[in-house]
Amino acid sequence: MLCSVCSEGVQWVGGTDGWWVHAHMDTPDHEATPVYWQDGDRLMEAIAAAVRAYCRTDANGLIHATAQDIAAVAASVARLLPDA
């Protein structure tokens, strides 16, 4: 899981009543905030649509994908983005 602010790794600690922390940052200047789905985010929606189109689904509509499947989808969407 990555932090939505700095893209560094975050992890959940402390069990049921725990909290998110940066995995490899001793003194970050912000709280660890995991990435989450955002309705209306065009990039997330494009990747989700590509995953649905590219990856296998079962009879219940669940998507079955390998890490390579997800990487291929993300790379194909990223290649469509204009250079910054």
Average pLDDT, the chain: 85
R_g of the chain computed on alpha carbons: 16
Could you state, in order of their start, the residue ranges of all structural domains in the chain? 1-36, 42-78
Q: 9 pairs with which residues across the strands?
A: 2
Give the model confidence (pLDDT) of 14-28 as tens digits: 888 899 999 887 777
Give the model confidence (pLDDT) of 34-78 as tens digits: 888 889 988 888 888 888 888 888 888 888 888 888 888 888 888
Cβ neighbours for 11, distance < 8 A, ≥ 6 positions apart:
1, 20, 21, 23
Whole-angstrom distance, CA of residue 34 vs CA of residue 5: 8
